Amino acid sequence: MGREVSESCIDSLLIEMVSTYCNRFYANKPELAARRIEAIGYQVGHQLSERYTMERPRFSDHLEAIKFICKDFWSELFKKQIDNLKTNHRGTFVLQDNRFRWLTRMSIDQSPENGASEEPSIMADEKAVESMHLYFPCGIIRGALSNLGIPCAVSADISNLPA
């Protein structure tokens, strides 16, 4: 029987970790906070992929490893598979999750009565705060792929929350 943690505990932990690194440890250095949050995610992803692949043979190519991340790894973390996988067949992969669990409670209010005409700087600040919450899952994916022998860079796009 596998051990599970309440989803609300994970949400709270992620929110507190981002808040602590952004507002307390590196309040004036958001790039350092982002690097540290991503590094923690990297460690988690590295260890989780080690655990989830212990009894599997090594993957023969990158596509097999990416498919493992999309199906098995993502299912273990988020109880669902990735919604869409695209590639340019040159080493770039785009994984799309249309309802990313860790962002489902976040949104940017773009209704006209609630500030769709807000200043661009305020909208940019909201996006920056939300993007801080994505460094941890990006680190998890990078760590998992690194453990599978695929050095990579991972970035996130939050143009359509919570996708």
d(CA 61, CA 56): 14
- Residue 22 maps to a domain: yes
Domain harbouring 97, CATH code:
3.30.1380.20
d(CA 157, CA 105): 17
pLDDT exceeds cutoff 60 at 153: yes
d(CA 39, CA 79): 24
The structural domain count of the chain equals 1
Owning domain of residue 33: 7-103+120-148
pLDDT digit string, tens, across residues 137-147: 999 999 999 99
- Residue 109 maps to a domain: no
pLDDT digit string, tens, across residues 46-94: 999 999 998 888 888 888 999 899 999 998 888 888 998 888 888 888 8
pLDDT exceeds cutoff 60 at 126: no
Query: Rg of the Cα trace of the chain?
Result: 17
